[in-house]
Amino acid sequence: MISRRALLLAAAAPFRWRMPEESAPHKRTWMTFGAHQNIWGARLIHDVQRNLATIAETIARFEPVSMLVEPTLRMEARQVLPAGIEQIPAPLDDLWARDTAPVFVLGAAKNKAAVDLNFNGWGEKQAHDRDAEVASFIARKSGAARLQSDLILEAGAIEVDGRGTAIIAESCTLNENRNIGITKADFEFAMRPLLGLEKIIWLPGGTGADFTDGHTSFYARFAAPGVVVYADNPANPITKEHLKILKAATDSTGRALELVPLKAPAKPRTKLRPMDLAATYLGYYVCNGAVITHEFGDAKTDAAARATLQKLFPARQVIPINCDALAAGGGTIHRVTQQEPA
């Protein structure tokens, strides 16, 4: 564990780490094939596993994909995963690579490190003994130096522009089910040197709003430095408060943010619509040459979201895919992927 003294020295030193923005060049994408029936249920499990395979296959058209595979699921993985996806045996509890994998950072000497954020099952909500080891396992496999945070959080709570600005939700980071007694000042003290941050824009988020206690990536994401795409839901008081904050915010250079709305699907396919359906287009993933996004069967909003993402990422191909089973369990493409920068 990194001590406060070590963090203070790191913050004062000219050398520091930097977390690149998701659209920076990737070496590969990490995913985890650990969907168990005791969590997902008999109705969803096979479709969820096929959703993972579809996501991996689509990303693999543009960059390498390394998939950790729970040993008890190796037969299922072989049946659905296409050739070309690297399969690495590893003990897993579930499939949320965004939350269990490390955050990769780059150093001034062009070296790479993997930050272990001490995953605790979103505040002890789910069994996580095996998933808690995923970050250190991937660090070893990637050959990156492992840095362990003093805090407990998930990468879904962190949105960065790669230039020193982050957007972070309070509800899932300052929550006592992760970090007891931690203030914003404490959090910033610990995160700034590890991620190369100069400014954090804080959103209230929504404690208990979902299993994650309101990950930042459900509310707002950087599409480029100074450009933020946000969940457009005027009827939601959390959304209204976030938009007010974002309109008044500036990035680390003092620049006002350009805000781009993404409306949720109005009429998603009805066969998979439980209460926790993650019906959001903010769950896209940016890889080398492409943006992989959800389509929900609502022709109007599917088309609008695709057009918006194409404008935001004009040099990339926007590819919508059906991940209904994953969405039915509260998941997104973004939540099951983690990029390793080049």
Helix residue ranges, H only, the chain:
4-12, 37-59, 74-80, 97-100, 121-124, 134-142, 184-195, 237-248, 299-312, 324-328
3-state helix, strand, coil in the chain (%, to 5): 35, 25, 40
Residue 92: closest CA among 28, 31, 177? 31
Task: List beta partners, residue 66.
Answer: 30, 86
Tell me the DSSP string of 88-121: EE---S---HHHHSPEEEE-TTS-EEEEE----H
Grade residue 1 by pLDDT with cuts at 50, 70 and 90. Answer: very low
Q: Give mean pLDDT, residues 66-72.
A: 98
Helices 184-195 and 4-12 pack at an angle, to 10 degrees, of: 60
Tell me: pLDDT of 236 over 90.
no
3-state secondary structure at position 167: strand
Residue 228 phi, psi (nearest 5): -125, 125
Q: Which CATH architecture has domain 4-10+22-341?
A: 5-stranded Propeller (3.75)
Tell me: pLDDT of 13 over 70.
no
Tell me: pLDDT of 60 over 50.
yes
Task: List beta partners, residue 213.
Answer: none
Q: Give mean pLDDT, residues 27-50.
A: 95
CB of 33 closer than 8 Å to CB of 77: yes
Higher pLDDT, 271 or 218: 218
pTM of the full structure: 0.94
Alpha carbon distance 108, 18 (integer Å): 8
> What does the pLDDT look like over 200-210, one tens digit per residue?
999 999 887 78
Given this model, what pLDDT does residue 108 score? 86
Mean pLDDT check: name the lowest of 153-167, 226-240, 260-274, 326-340.
Answer: 260-274
Tell me: pLDDT of 175 over 60.
yes
Given this model, what pLDDT does residue 109 score? 83
Given this model, what pLDDT does residue 271 score? 62
Structural domain spans, the chain: 4-10+22-341
Q: Which two tokens stand for residue 311?
A: 């404008």
Q: Give mean pLDDT, residues 307-313.
A: 98
Q: State how far the alpha carbon of 275 is from the alpha carbons of 209, 330, 334, in Å.
A: 12, 9, 20
Helix (H) or strand (E) holding 258: strand 258-263
Alpha carbon distance 193, 14 (integer Å): 10
Q: What percent of the chain has pLDDT over 70?
A: 94
Query: Mean of the per-residue pLDDT values for the chain?
Result: 93
Alpha carbon distance 226, 186 (integer Å): 26
Given this model, what pLDDT does residue 268 score? 86
Tell me: pLDDT of 309 over 90.
yes
CB of 260 closer than 8 Å to CB of 276: no
Q: Longest Cα pair distance anywhere in the chain, in angstroms? A: 55
